[in-house]
Each structure stands twice: as C-alpha cells, then as structure tokens.
Amino acid sequence: MTNRINLITFSAIILVFTWLLVGCGTADESDNSGNSDSDSDSDSDSDSDSDSDSDSDSDSDSDSDSDSDSDSDSDTDSDSDSDGDECGDVDPCGGDLEGTWNVTSSCISVNGDLDMTAFGLGETCNATVSADLVVTGKWTANGDGTFSDETAVTGTEMIELTEDCKSLSGTKTTCDRISGPLASPGYMSVDCVDNDETSGCTCTAAIDSAGLSVAGGLGLAPGYPSVSGAYMVDGDTFTTSDGSYSFCVSDSILTVVPESTGTTGPISGSVVLEKE
C-alpha cells in the first residue's frame, strides 16, 4: 500500500515538473516572438525614417540647385538687359541740351545704298556701303545757342561700286583711279581694286574725322565737320551745320541718333553721352 502511494506521488511530481517546463518554453517563445516583431518594426521605422530623410535631402538639394540656377539665369538676363540699354536706337524725347557731354558708348552702323552723285561719279553709278563706326570725345551745348564739338569719328567702310562707276565724265577709267574722287567728301584714304565677280570695284575707305586737321561730326561721317557754330532745337531734334540729330535727355544721360545725309549712307544706332 505504501509503495503504491509513493508511486502516485512521484508521478504527480513528474507531471507538475513537465507542465512547468512546457509553460516556461511557451512564454520564452512568446517573448522572443514579441521581441522579434518589435525589432522588425523598429528596423522598418528606421528604414522609413532614413528614406524620408534621404528624400527630404534630395528634394532640398534639388530645390537649392533650382533656385541657384534660377538666380543665375536672372542675373544673366539682368546683365544682358543692362548691356543692351547702353547703346542702340532710342525713342526721341527731347530735353535740356545745355552742358558738356562726354561720350560713354557708341554703336553707329552704316549699311545700304550710297548716293554717288555727291562723289561726282555720275547718276548711273550704283554703290552699297557697310561699316561700324566709333565715336569718342565730348560735345558742348552752350546756353546762347552755340556749340563746340570735340568728338571724333573713326572706322572703315567697305564700298562696292558697279561697273558703270568706272566712267568719269564719259571717259572710261580704272578702279585705282577712282580712289581720288571717292575720297573727296572727307575720307582719310580710299583704296579701290577690281572686283572680278561684278566687273566693278571694291573700295576700302578709312574714316578719321580727327585726322582731317579738325575733330567733330558726332557720328556723321564722312565729311568736314564743324568744331563750333550754332545749333537749333526743334522738339526732339537739334540741327548744326553738319546735320540733324534726334535726341533724348534722361537725368544725366544724353542719347543722340545722327540722321543720314547724302554722303553718309543709311545710318542706324546712337551715341550715348554723360553730363559732366
């Protein structure tokens, strides 16, 4: 009887011990599972934060680059506009001319047909001219209606003459002999050579108003400009013995547009001067 009771007691102890082992194992697995899920979620959140930071940095860099490019483009446009305002055609507005004005920039171009009757080469002589001229110096308008012109006009014109131009007073001539008559309106020098393609002449004409013993012209060339004299203002145009100019005075800036004459050919562009 005693042995039977001992066997039953021993079996009960074994069952309890087994139950405890099984229960602890399940709890450990549950804890491990929970820790694993937690670590996984943490890693996922970390990756998400990393991706978010990366995207944010990328967007920030992209925006920064975009802003930088935009600012750069804006600066370039601004510089371009600034350069463009220095010289060129201008809407005449008139204004007070009195004072001494120093040339700061010029962009005078001559391009088109040239009237050769003023050169003594006959009505049948047709010619074209092209050149970019530079104006320097200063121009003064006095309150009594007189002016002094200390500007100088320089440049080189290319003049193309047709075959009909190689006739002076009904006499046939050569291109090199045309150089003299062509220089008469006020070129510093002229060199004409045969043009085999047109049977006419190609002439290189140097302009230097200061080299003609006197300066002057304020953009009008060739010619023998006046260094002083009277000027007359009519609205947004003033006139001297050399020719007419449309103009605009804005603050301390005077912009002058020379008007073409019979010997200059078609003129475009302007001269910009600043008041002393």
Which one is predicted more confidently, 124 or 229?
A: 229
Residue 31 pLDDT > 70:
no
Over residues 204-250, the pLDDT tens digits come to: 999 987 776 557 889 998 888 889 999 999 999 999 999 999 999 99
How many domains does the structure of the chain reveal?
1
Which one is predicted more confidently, 161 or 224?
A: 161
In a domain, 251, yes or no: yes
pLDDT given at position 253: 96
In a domain, 16, yes or no: no
Of 7-21, 132-146, 262-276, the poorest mean pLDDT is in 7-21
In a domain, 187, yes or no: yes
Distance (Å, whole) CA 90 – CA 226? 25
- Count of CB atoms situated within 10 Å of the CB of 181: 17
Q: In which residue are the tokens 């003459």 written?
A: 161
Tokens of 61: 């860099």
Distance (Å, whole) CA 59 – CA 94? 54
**DSSP-derived 3-state class of residue 216:** coil
Whole-number mean pLDDT of the chain? Answer: 76
pLDDT given at position 115: 87
Q: Report how far Cα 240 is from the mean position of its chain's Cα atoms.
A: 33
pLDDT given at position 210: 72
- Count of CB atoms situated within 10 Å of the CB of 158: 13
Q: Report the DSSP pairing between strands 267-268 and 253-258.
A: unpaired
Cβ neighbors of 253 (< 8 A, separation 6 or more) are: 272, 273, 274, 275
Kind and range of the H or E run holding 105: strand 99-106
pLDDT given at position 214: 58
Percent share of the chain, pLDDT over 90: 50
Domain that holds residue 224: 99-275
Task: With cut-offs at 50, 70 and 90, classify the pLDDT of residue 127.
Answer: very high
Rounded to 5 degrees, what angle do the CA atoms 257, 89, 203 make? 70
Task: With cut-offs at 50, 70 and 90, classify the pLDDT of residue 35.
Answer: very low
pLDDT given at position 174: 93
Which one is predicted more confidently, 62 or 98?
A: 98
Average pLDDT of the residues in 59-79: 42
In a domain, 196, yes or no: yes
Average pLDDT of the residues in 174-203: 92
Tokens of 52: 């978010």
pLDDT given at position 213: 55
pLDDT given at position 212: 64
What residues form DSSP beta bridges with 273?
103, 254
Average pLDDT of the residues in 129-156: 96
Tokens of 51: 């991706």
Average pLDDT of the residues in 12-41: 42
pLDDT given at position 1: 43
The answer to pTM > 0.85 is no
- Cβ atoms 107, 273 nearer than 8 A: no
pLDDT given at position 243: 93
Average pLDDT of the residues in 89-97: 89
Distance (Å, whole) CA 103 – CA 257? 13
In a domain, 79, yes or no: no
Please report how many Cα atoms fall inside a 13 Å half-sphere around the Cα of residue 119, on the Cβ side. Answer: 29
Average pLDDT of the residues in 141-154: 96
In a domain, 208, yes or no: yes
In a domain, 3, yes or no: no
Distance (Å, whole) CA 78 – CA 74? 6
In a domain, 257, yes or no: yes
pLDDT given at position 158: 98
**End-to-end CA separation in angstroms for the chain:** 137
Of 195-204, 210-219, 248-257, the poorest mean pLDDT is in 210-219
